[in-house]
């Protein structure tokens, strides 16, 4: 039986305020709170909240037959907690249905998997803990930032305990193969791969409201017919898109929410099921290995990482950022670590893209800057101040190995001091117990001596007489 696996992405970065060169060293707050509040609130009202309510209604009306997956970044959760708490409540309700799977990913929506394995693993762990604390779930399937994946990343994902990964069904990787199967990683055969069906996903995300599209208007029954017409042996169709598709990218006036809510009814008529990514990888066997020698993503026509690392500006910012990664991990400054996460969001690099016009227009649509060069200048000014703060704690003149050695010595001394303090406290306790016992023993002796002295006094008086 054929199945559809829906996955909805939710992410919003902390956008930076205009930060001038003269602010470096003087202003350590980098974010445009007004803009962040306005954007996340607007998109939540237009898309996130109506879409989440629609998903709840679809689960209820289908008696649980409809199911899907949601992936939400840690930085998006923080903004919902701050500006749109209603969205957190809706996500909790979705989790409580047991029909919505939450996926693992990097907390900061970062590209750490391409630069720093240790940072990558730590962010994923922090993200998992956040999901468990809020929604009581433990992710089993991983979805990397922007669906970035390669043979080098696969063993890391498996080592972190995940059974499967979702990535892009890139044509230059698949060749003649179809994305509508489960594959396993060539570099980690125990890791199963689910591939996004780009054509069917983009029909909803980008073409749904396009009146010039030859398939316009797209109706639920037509869409399900397309899926049903795929070869019988192709058992899984993975549909991935941002949740903002339903109300923001495609306005509600296009009928996008009605289209979404009608899908389960027409799917049931054609004998098509819905499943979560975990259900797909547990029920379906891989048809073969898939090798991805170079990183792929779901962005642009190239489906590579050039949207974020395609020019000198982006690569300079990227390398500068991760040059201090080890030192930031060593520090205990909560504010510094928070800024470290916020500055790693891939969006900051995306705004610096100088790709050709077709893609350039797409990039500029989401950028708060007038030009990629303005985005680069602003980000590098912020990063310069951030690095100054890092250097104040751990000077860059000290090599990483030397710094690690010094910190290890300091930590060992701290442990020794702590151990000695515990021994001193124990000795004090013992002394106090000894003194208390000694006092208790002395008290009865005093009582016995007093009557004896009185007796001697009484006997002496008659003798004198």
146 annotated active-site: yes
The number of CA neighbours under 13 Å toward the Cβ of 463 is: 5
CA 278 to chain centre: 18
Contacts of 394 (CB under 8 A, 6+ apart): 327, 330, 331, 403
Question: Helices 312-322 and 372-393 meet at what angle, rounded to 10?
Answer: 20
- Phi, psi angle pair for 286, to nearest 5°: -65, 140
Q: Please, is 40 exposed, middle or buried when counting C-beta atoms within 10 Å of its C-beta (0-12, 13-18, 19+)? A: buried
Gap between the Cα atoms of 146 and 151, Å rounded = 16
Gap between the Cα atoms of 14 and 146, Å rounded = 17
Size of the chain in residues? 465
The C-alpha angle 99, 101, 103, rounded to 5 degrees, equals: 170
Tokens of 310: 């395609």
**Contact predicate 143/106, CB 8 Å:** no
Gap between the Cα atoms of 234 and 297, Å rounded = 23
**Contact predicate 173/198, CB 8 Å:** no
End-to-end C-alpha distance for the chain, whole angstroms: 124
Nearest Cα neighbor of 384 from 18, 14, 20 is 20
Gap between the Cα atoms of 21 and 377, Å rounded = 9
Gap between the Cα atoms of 378 and 384, Å rounded = 10
**Contact predicate 5/276, CB 8 Å:** yes
For tokens 């060069």, the residue is 373
Q: What is the CA radius of gyration of the chain?
A: 31
* Residue of 101, 146, 273, 279 marked active site: 146
**Contact predicate 245/256, CB 8 Å:** yes
DSSP 45: I
Gap between the Cα atoms of 385 and 391, Å rounded = 10
Catalytic residues: 146
């Amino acid at each position: 039986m054929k199945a559809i696996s829906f996955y909805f992405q939710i992410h919003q970065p902390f956008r930076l305020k205009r930060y001038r060169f003269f602010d470096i060293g003087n202003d350590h707050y980098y974010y445009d709170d007004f803009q962040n509040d306005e954007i996340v609130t607007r998109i939540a009202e237009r898309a996130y909240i109506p879409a989440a309510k629609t998903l709840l209604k679809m689960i209820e009306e289908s008696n649980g037959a409809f199911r899907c997956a949601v992936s939400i970044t840690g930085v998006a959760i923080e903004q919902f907690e701050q500006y749109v708490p209603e969205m957190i409540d809706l996500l909790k309700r979705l989790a409580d249905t047991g029909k919505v799977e939450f996926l693992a990913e990097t907390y900061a929506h970062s590209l750490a998997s391409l630069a720093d394995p240790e940072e990558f693993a730590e962010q994923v762990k922090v993200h998992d803990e956040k999901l468990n604390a809020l929604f009581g779930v433990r992710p089993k399937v991983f979805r990397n930032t922007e669906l970035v994946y390669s043979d080098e990343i696969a063993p890391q994902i498996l080592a972190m305990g995940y059974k499967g990964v979702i990535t892009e069904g890139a044509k230059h990787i698949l060749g003649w193969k179809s994305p509508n199967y489960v594959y396993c990683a060539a570099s980690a055969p125990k890791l199963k791969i689910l591939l996004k069906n780009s054509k069917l996903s983009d029909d909803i995300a980008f073409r749904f409201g396009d009146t010039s599209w030859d398939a316009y208007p797209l109706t639920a029954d037509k869409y399900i017919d397309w899926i049903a017409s795929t070869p019988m042996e192709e058992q899984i169709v993975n549909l991935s898109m941002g949740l903002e598709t339903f109300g923001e990218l495609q306005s509600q006036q296009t009928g996008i929410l009605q289209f979404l809510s009608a899908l389960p009814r027409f799917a049931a008529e054609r004998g098509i099921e819905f499943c979560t990514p975990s259900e797909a990888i547990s029920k379906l066997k891989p048809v073969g290995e898939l090798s991805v020698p170079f990183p792929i993503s779901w962005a642009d026509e190239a489906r590579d990482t050039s949207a974020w690392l395609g020019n000198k500006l982006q690569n300079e910012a990227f390398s500068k950022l991760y040059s201090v990664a080890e030192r930031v991990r060593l520090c205990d400054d909560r504010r510094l670590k928070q800024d470290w996460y916020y500055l790693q969001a891939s969006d900051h690099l995306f705004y610096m893209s100088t790709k050709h016009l077709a893609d350039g227009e797409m990039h500029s649509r989401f950028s708060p800057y007038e030009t990629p060069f303005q985005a680069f200048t602003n980000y590098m000014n912020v990063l310069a101040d951030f690095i100054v703060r890092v250097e104040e704690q751990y000077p860059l003149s000290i090599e990483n190995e030397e710094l690690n050695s010094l910190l290890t010595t300091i930590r060992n001394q701290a442990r020794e001091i702590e151990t000695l303090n515990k021994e001193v406290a124990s000795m004090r306790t013992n002394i106090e117990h000894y003194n208390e016992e000694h006092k208790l023993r002395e008290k009865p002796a005093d009582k016995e001596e007093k009557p004896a002295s009185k007796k001697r006094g009484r006997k002496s008086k008659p003798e004198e007489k």
